[in-house]
Structure 1
């Protein structure tokens, strides 16, 4: 018997020579005869196979071992339990399923060139050549320890590729004229490393619909895909959550009305952008950015900014995230108004607090700037204010407080004195009627009260004729003046004067007996004396005295005969 190559056989017939009988013997010996050689190539359903026949199925070799349960119809009856196993087997199920009649080909590996992996039943599962250390499925030239080539998807799966320095798995897909797309997964430097030359990494999931109770269980479309996409454009790595077209380093769109973008593509400084889509399509945004000079916050939200203190415990916050309990600490409106403790400031700056003692208002929108302190009366029945401001000519202090203004000397710093307006000693008060008290006195009929010494380079009393009425000459006062009791004295501790300084004057109650117009008695009984007005009394007394002297001088001259 002479087995000749295909090329040699073709050459004998190309020359035009008449084949000899030996040529035909060589042709027959070189040709595979299925029945004689027991090799049938790819397995085919419905074919009758005999014991020892070999087929190929899914890139594996199987040998037929008929069990007699499905003999060939021409040589036995189906269901004959006594059928001869040497009879043909009518193969219906493929060798992977029909393990009763087919066994994976067991190759003698006694030469130790092959390694066979068997299952629990000692059936060979995988065989590979130890001399190469590689397995190729669908390829005769494996490029990895395990290389699977799948024509139907134009792909390759490589486990531990050649020249790999760390554990690595590679998926490749040929793109025709385009470059082969590759995904590599490996462990290196204590890190899991994923590398690709595709547009990026896409992670998706679908949620099967759950029938509502009582609803007919009919097929439904699955819920929308919620993708996570990681891409590497020229601008740098980008992650999209809920989107496959991220417009920033991180672009989150997992809610219909909500979106968050970190470092947008066009940004040149670190930025975060929050977007909210309203019921009617209007879109509001919040942008936070940081550059080398400042941190900026920008929004077009209708109500501006709210800074709030959360009132929920940390463990309950996410449960109530739709409507968390919170207290507004600071608000900044779109027109620039700032509220501290309020969401609706009425001026450029309003500082207040719920159920508080009052508020502070700073206004720059009027013709002249003003700063107002508001006092909340008990139960807010009536509020009063102190307003400080300035115009082109005056610095102004205004109040509608029932008693006017008071300036105090406060206690030493500490113990709350710096915040308590009800402590300290009155120095100057100005009543709501304009009466001024220096030294802590209570206004009792005087427009100016001074508790203590007063010094002036001139004191003028306004008795302009245009401002007086009921003019009358002062009657005789000489006898009354003679009865006045001028005294010296010292002020005691009730007066705001040094006790060791001697004074000259009158006691008001002694003067009142003769000149009641010069004495004023306050509601608390305190009597005061109009010393300046006594000039008129003393002038009248001197005039009377001079008239008496002139009369006496006239009589003396008459007696002397002048």
Structure 2
């Protein structure tokens, strides 16, 4: 046998010379692989091998060379047809059984094959250096390596004919040809398919056990990741093979998240929850050219909560995280700040706080109410501001009524502290009005300071008085009154430099106690307007005296 290199063979047939019979002998010898070799894969103990059989053991190829003096071990087996003179029943591996096995020596002198040996010069790897196409299961390979498997109607193509970059293609034939291509191009890993999409699973269908019939079986439950390209664009399904959005996540039976649904015309995210009896609720967030929109059909509306869990603990308690509701929006439009159950259109409150604010538009007339919880939170009082068609109304059930104060400068909490400043006007719950910060006792209107009007009338309508009686003699008492001039001091809210004319109430009280009022703190006040009646009576008495004297004078003069 003469082995000639591939290059030398090509040269013999390219020179134009007519090949001799020896040239053809060299060609046959150089290209012939021992036709009686039989490759049996990995060596297996107890298998009957014959001369020329090839196996793999410990990363090396061995060929069977039976010594002929050992029985094959097939005695007593039904249907045994082994030729004991040539067969060898392997018991020891080829490395030990050197009598019946020898390492396969492949001639690599033509440089078509490369043999890699270990430190002991033992060949461990052999690979082809020069090749065209290899077809397995097909006589018409369409790639460097083309494997066709009839059982699965599939083809595996390593480096297809038209490939421009490293590429691997899987094809399956049926109603049509479906394919999956994996390649490297433009610094990217490129996956291409004409199927419905890409399915990534965490489990695989069960493989038949040894001796079982290879029939389809139901795969174990999986949570797939599916990538597809419908007409509306790319879609990824997590936990579903029928995504309805760019990303459709359905990990839990009752929880679903869709990012940019296929029918959406603006950026949109939809959260869906399937509750008891299959009832579905959703939350949609969308952004268009003019506004961001939040939409839900949840029966309790919207809750905005502040998480009370630390970040590292949140996922552990994600089913029932600690949270405080800051804002709630109910399906009927009511808004609660600090509460999930607002009782008016807008309610602002806080747990264990001083009170609440209520804005109400549901009644006939609009109203704004401030609620004070009181320290014990048992009895509340309110201040209500509202308006009807005729009046602007200010109402309260506070125990003392209303007070208007002049507050301190902005800052230091003055703008939110009501218990500060100077009283300007007070209206008691009895209707008594105080201007200037005096006490309301004894008077329905109490003014600390100067009062001005362009007309002042006292209502003494006959229908409103009883026990009418004529005023007695007053002239002698009037003569004893002490009119004085004076100036107010700092205790009065009047200019101190203005000289006043009047009476001291305690001096008047001795003669006319009906004109003097004494408060609980001892302050005395005088009803100056009522003195008109006294002075009128005094003038009348003087006129009677004058008339009497005039008559006497006329009589003396003889008139």
Question: TM (normalized to structure 1)?
Answer: 0.80
Q: Per-residue CA shift, 1:448-492, capped at 9, x if unaligned?
A: 111111111111111111111111111111111111111111111
CA gap of 1:120–1:334, structure 2 versus 1, over 3 A, is: farther
CA gap of 1:551–1:218, structure 2 versus 1, over 3 A, is: farther
CA gap of 1:96–1:358, structure 2 versus 1, over 3 A, is: farther
Assess if the C-alpha contact under 8 Å between 1:128 and 1:134 holds in 2. Answer: no
Structure 1 Cα separation of the partners of residues 126 and 12 of structure 2: 40
CA gap of 1:409–1:224, structure 2 versus 1, over 3 A, is: same
Range that drifts further, 522-531 or 53-62: 53-62
Specify every segment of 5 or more residues in structure 1 that has no aligned partner in the other structure, as ranges. 174-179
Assess if the C-alpha contact under 8 Å between 1:114 and 1:129 holds in 2. Answer: yes
Assess if the C-alpha contact under 8 Å between 2:372 and 2:382 holds in 1. Answer: yes
Assess if the C-alpha contact under 8 Å between 1:169 and 1:186 holds in 2. Answer: yes
Assess if the C-alpha contact under 8 Å between 2:274 and 2:281 holds in 1. Answer: yes
CA gap of 1:504–1:13, structure 2 versus 1, over 3 A, is: closer
Structure 2 Cα separation of the partners of residues 439 and 355 of structure 1: 36
2:529 match: secondary structure: coil
Q: CA deviation at 1:405?
A: 0.4
Q: CA deviation at 1:395?
A: 0.6
Q: CA deviation at 1:165?
A: 5.5
Assess if the C-alpha contact under 8 Å between 1:71 and 1:78 holds in 2. Answer: no
RMSD over aligned CA atoms reads 7.8
Q: CA deviation at 1:172?
A: 2.9
Structure 1 Cα separation of the partners of residues 208 and 2 of structure 2: 73
Q: CA deviation at 1:547?
A: 1.3
Q: CA deviation at 1:107?
A: 3.7
Corresponding position of 1:34: 34
Q: Per-residue CA shift, 1:525-549, capped at 9, x if unaligned?
A: 1111111111111111111111111
Assess if the C-alpha contact under 8 Å between 1:69 and 1:80 holds in 2. Answer: no
Range that drifts further, 294-303 or 463-472: 294-303
Q: CA deviation at 1:561?
A: 1.2
Q: CA deviation at 1:22?
A: 22
Assess if the C-alpha contact under 8 Å between 1:104 and 1:123 holds in 2. Answer: no
Range that drifts further, 117-126 or 183-192: 117-126
Q: CA deviation at 1:72?
A: 5.6
Q: Per-residue CA shift, 1:181-219, capped at 9, x if unaligned?
A: 332334455544333222111111249999999999999
Q: CA deviation at 1:556?
A: 1.3
CA gap of 1:341–1:99, structure 2 versus 1, over 3 A, is: farther
Alignment of 1:22-101 (within 5 A): 51-52=51-52, 63-66=63-66, 71=71, 87-89=86-88
Range that drifts further, 416-425 or 302-311: 302-311
Range that drifts further, 95-104 or 354-363: 95-104
Q: CA deviation at 1:170?
A: 3.3
CA gap of 1:30–1:217, structure 2 versus 1, over 3 A, is: closer
Corresponding position of 1:177: none
Structure 2 Cα separation of the partners of residues 336 and 496 of structure 1: 52
Q: Per-residue CA shift, 1:228-276, capped at 9, x if unaligned?
A: 1111111111111111101111111111111111111211111111111
Q: CA deviation at 1:64?
A: 3.6
Assess if the C-alpha contact under 8 Å between 1:68 and 1:84 holds in 2. Answer: no
CA gap of 1:126–1:143, structure 2 versus 1, over 3 A, is: farther
CA gap of 1:452–1:24, structure 2 versus 1, over 3 A, is: closer
CA gap of 1:71–1:442, structure 2 versus 1, over 3 A, is: same
Corresponding position of 2:258: 261
Q: CA deviation at 1:378?
A: 1.7
Assess if the C-alpha contact under 8 Å between 1:70 and 1:91 holds in 2. Answer: no
CA gap of 1:222–1:96, structure 2 versus 1, over 3 A, is: farther
Q: CA deviation at 1:141?
A: 6.1
Q: In the alignment, is residue 204 of structure 1 matched against residue 201 of structure 2?
A: yes
Structure 1 Cα separation of the partners of residues 98 and 528 of structure 2: 137
Range that drifts further, 32-41 or 461-470: 32-41
Corresponding position of 1:122: 121
Q: CA deviation at 1:61?
A: 10
Structure 2 Cα separation of the partners of residues 219 and 164 of structure 1: 34
CA gap of 1:40–1:16, structure 2 versus 1, over 3 A, is: farther
Query: Size of the alignment, in residue pairs?
Result: 555
Assess if the C-alpha contact under 8 Å between 1:51 and 1:86 holds in 2. Answer: no
Question: TM (normalized to structure 2)?
Answer: 0.81
CA gap of 1:30–1:208, structure 2 versus 1, over 3 A, is: closer
Range that drifts further, 18-27 or 34-43: 18-27
Corresponding position of 1:368: 365
Corresponding position of 1:508: 505
Specify every segment of 5 or more residues in structure 2 that has no aligned partner in the other structure, as ranges. none
Assess if the C-alpha contact under 8 Å between 2:59 and 2:125 holds in 1. Answer: no
1:419 match: secondary structure: coil
Structure 1 Cα separation of the partners of residues 457 and 209 of structure 2: 99
Q: CA deviation at 1:130?
A: 2.9
